[in-house]
Structure 1
């Protein structure tokens, strides 16, 4: 623990233990939620990492039975969830410890949710009151431990899962998918490579900026979005330059969580497009958002210029609304993120199909201007 990395206990929107080294409190965290036999869910890349092996050792040292499930793709699929549920049931586990980036957290929440359900996972797609079809008393609790500062999935009540038969990302929702407890340990993000620091950080930025741009009245979400953007503006470049900067890592972890809470106000065209692109091309979600964000902002500009005029001075950019767009572009460039989808290997060979999926994505409804097929195709053309 260093003096410039804060430590705190929060209860917003769920109990949070924040601070460097607090992952070592895993045994008491399990006792707090009344669990004794956790299934650790992570991805294959982290399965052998010190942070996961140390977590398992801490559980063993506390005499807690546990197992590891790591068959999770960067864009988690229904097959990953099904396999995780089988492991959960076979091991007679009573909770999930989800540790990793957004993919591991989404998969872990989905496994805990589906462990007690009999209907297919798509029964609970975030449409209308589908969530009411779930057996609420059969949802296993989750402890979420993020190792990236991007999705903020530790504060989400949903998981984004790729449906393999349709190549579509589906949002599965239930209020009780919100983790029972979160451990936010900025020390776990110190080893994140610069490229992933940039991509995940831009994911958090896109959450906050899309939420702030979304129409509707939600001053609490707007406040969180503005504070997240202000913190990201200084912390992301610092963390990118020096991955050991604990203060910057802590600020990014907090900002990504706030941005996720803010997105309950709505998202928009960035996510409406990045979801199908990620499902079809298996591309990194944060990197897709980073490339798409300026293009969507330009498309939406007639509707959001007034809001950007109010945002610019609140995040230290002066009085001109254009400064926000210029800042996003300059920040992206400083993080060595390219301007186009082609530059990250996403060729968009069938833009019409992507556009059709984008307009059906739930995020499209939050765009500040109507997001129809023509809008999707126009943005894709600019971003290719």
Structure 2
């Protein structure tokens, strides 16, 4: 474990950290347990959220049949957008409000799970849409009370949304990605069946796998919780509380497993050991960042995804441009970790080693370059675009990208060193091209 002194006492800093997480059931075939769990959570009339592509596939059929076999009334909502927007969140919320459901089940990737969280929130505690959205873009109003039970069933190995109280969307009018954050959004239960990933296209496995990697690497190198000012009340301690000893455990194992399995999982869909490993790594990283928070690569990613031009990646819907979330994160990461390494070099070296880099004889001054080079090698071997230029941006876009990232103050402030908007512009310049 890296540098215990990272958590040394800081004047004015917090002296305790919190551990919050969803209940989790993990294993092949566990989606068939959905009905019994839903009934035990008090559900009678259930909204089953998914997207149009998944609606006709086995995971949704298994979950729906399990719910029906348990005697529950089930209504399917299959209009989730692959990259949700404020408009698609509102449409889902209207469906939930009109349906008068007492429970929610989501089957899909992070977009499906996040949309279900938002629908649960706005149908339970109606408000102006902007009220619950993160500041400074929205009003960051606290969720007034508990939400209805929600069982999340992920079908991709990446977002970790089943373990977090975060719902991310594109704010179309403002051309930026942002989100809603509250511990109350965290699903009541996650049913995680790794076999759902066996049919995923290679590019989807790569993008989601880099989301896993960056969740773990950002959480591990985040500002330590002892340098974050205490909340006004202990019950208001944020989920993005900074790196802490609990999250470190999940980060370490998730990085080791990603270093071992990511390339294999992308290269060969029949390598079930690798795809199982990435699903478990996603779970560990989801728990970790749900209790520590991520920082600059994710903050920058929301601008990259929100201002997309004409990029349409293989393996994803081709009806409109998009930069998949994990891809929009990792194209920034090598530049970021070159920048942050001097804040906690030992942690950067540990992370590089867990990802498979040779750190023999390395000094603290080498940490940023070693991490960056390892990330670049993994990007090249798995077909990830060459930096933000590879997803359609040019140097003239840097100011707009930096402004979009600067709006993500919840994430920017979780970085291990102070960051200015000019720093973000420099990072985007550095992320334009890596090879």
The verdict on a shared fold, with TM-score over 0.5 as the criterion, is yes
Partner of 1:6: none
Rounded Cα–Cα distance in structure 1 between residues aligned with 2:396 and 2:81: 23
2:399 pairs, out of 352, 364, 371, with 352
CA 1:133–1:271: 2 relative to 1, 3 Å? closer
User: How far 1:349 sits from its partner (Å)?
Assistant: 5.4
Question: In 2 relative to 1, CA 25–340 (structure 1 residues): closer, same or farther, beyond 3 Å?
Answer: same
Aligned twin of 2:33: 25
Partner residue of 2:249 out of 197, 210, 223: 223
1:3 aligned residue: none
Correspondences of 1:266-345 after superposition (within 5 Å): 266-281=293-308, 282-314=322-354, 317=357, 318-319=359-360, 320=362, 321=367, 322-345=369-392
1:57 to 62, 65, 81: 65
* Cα RMSD (Å): 2.3
**How far 1:223 moved relative to its partner?**
1.9
**What is the aligned length?**
373
Say which of 123, 132, 152 aligns to 1:115.
123
Structure 2 SS opposite 1:277: helix
Change (3 A) 1:52 1:370: same
1:136 maps to 2:176: no
Unpaired segments of 5 or more residues in structure 2?
A: 1-18, 226-243, 309-321
Structure 1 residue 106 corresponds to structure 2 residue 114? yes
TM-score, normalised by the number of residues in structure 1: 0.90
Show the 5 A alignment for 1:199-278.
199-217=207-225, 218-263=244-289, 264-278=291-305
> Given the alignment, which residue of 34, 38, 60 partners 2:46?
38
Of 13-22 and 39-48, more deviation after overlay is shown by 39-48
Shift of 1:62: 3.6
Choose the corresponding residue for 1:13, options 21, 37, 49. Answer: 21
Deviation at 1:28, TM superposition (A): 0.9
Q: Secondary structure at the match of 1:207?
A: helix
Quick check: which one's helix share is greater? Answer: 1
* 2:232 paired residue number: none
User: How far off its partner does 1:314 sit?
Assistant: 4.9
Alignment gaps of 5+ in structure 1: 1-10
Question: CA separation in 2, counterparts of 1:45 and 1:328?
Answer: 31
What is the DSSP-based 3-state SS (H/G/I as helix, E as strand, rest coil) of the residue aligned with 1:187? helix
TM-score (norm 2): 0.80
Which digits, 9 at most, give the CA deviation of each residue in 1:50-91, with x for residues without a partner? 322333233334432111212222221121122112212222
Q: Which residue of 1 aligns with 2:188?
A: 180
Contact 1:269 1:371 in 2 (8 A): no
**SS state of the match for residue 413, structure 2?**
helix
